[in-house]
Amino acid sequence: MTNYESFIRGLPKAELHMHIEGSLEPRMMFDLAARNGLKLRWGSPSELQAAYQFTNLQSFLDLYYEGCRVLIHEQDFYDVTAAYLRRAKQDGVIRAELLIGPQSFTTRGVGIETVMNGVLRAIEDARHDLAISSGLIVTAQRHRTEADAMLLLDQIMPWSDRILGIGMGGAEVGNPPSKFVNFFRACRDRGFRITIHAGEEGPASYVREAVELLRVDRIDHGNSCLADPELVAEIVRRKLALTVCPLSNLRLKGVPSLEQHPLRALINAGLHVTVNSDDPSYFGGYVSENLIECQRALDLSLNDVVDLARNGFTAAFISPDERDKALASIDSYVAAFRM
């Protein structure tokens, strides 16, 4: 292990863009399928992992949604959430803001209470048992209608005081943020922070709609904003954070190589960039691997890496006190580490 790799793995981190369903490791998928009497179309976990060869976002989503079938009971949602949080703890994560898309489950008969209770129980247990701070962002799926999103918003209100925010993911092209203006207005009116995936495979205009029409608190991905310098300046002015996911972009062919990833350009443009794992089981790396691989590919300095880690906490939906303590923990770690 190089000094940089050791430094990054131990560095206190926040992860702001990680889909719980996307942390379902192949072995756990097979275990849950067996527990729930389901037959997968792959013969083994290794055969499943070999299928993780994606050509674009949609090719990934097709497999992703198929994997969601094994999550049926409250304990299933608990187990996959708890497994990620244990892994995140080993990765130096002390703040995790997790995304879950209930529509993948409720539309096939799984009760909303099954999803919410399982995930939230795991988050609470991890708070006590692992001392890891976590929050839940509920995501609507953009390939569905705005009426579907409104229904989801109503369904989750019994847990509103335990939900960190509302987001949106799914196939981006052809489903612009403007399709959901009324939904996000309703989310804001009910007191939720809001995020949306924009600029992952969609154009800069999608990021602009997220900023100007939806008035988001954070942008998930946001890479394509670089095509619009005026938009970049506006994002900087509004101090909006981007939750960038480099290995995800690489695996989904958004970039031909990490050496050509726009992370460095985003940083140089003055944007508030954070690094995250997105769907770590499918994309070959949790948050530390994302930072390690980007450091190597883009020749990031120690200060670059530390700044990215600090950005995670300043962008997190946490109290000023928790933020100050997290930033102090980074300072202490950096001061004590010997390269």
Which residues belong to the active site? 200
Q: Is 215 exposed, middle or buried (0-12, 13-18, 19+ CB in 10 A)?
A: middle
CA angle 189, 195, 196 (to 5 degrees): 120
CA 96 and chain centroid, separation: 9
- List CB contacts of 256: < 8 A, sequence separation 6 or more: none
Q: Which residue bears the tokens 């995936």?
A: 197
Q: Which residue bears the tokens 């960038």?
A: 244
Report d(CA 144, CA 267) in Å as an integer.
Answer: 33
Report d(CA 143, CA 15) in Å as an integer.
Answer: 26
Report d(CA 110, CA 224) in Å as an integer.
Answer: 36
Which pair of tokens denotes residue 36?
Answer: 């729930």
> Helix %, strand %, coil % for the chain, to 5?
60, 15, 30
Report d(CA 31, CA 35) in Å as an integer.
Answer: 6
Q: In the 8-state DSSP scheme, what is residue 102?
A: T
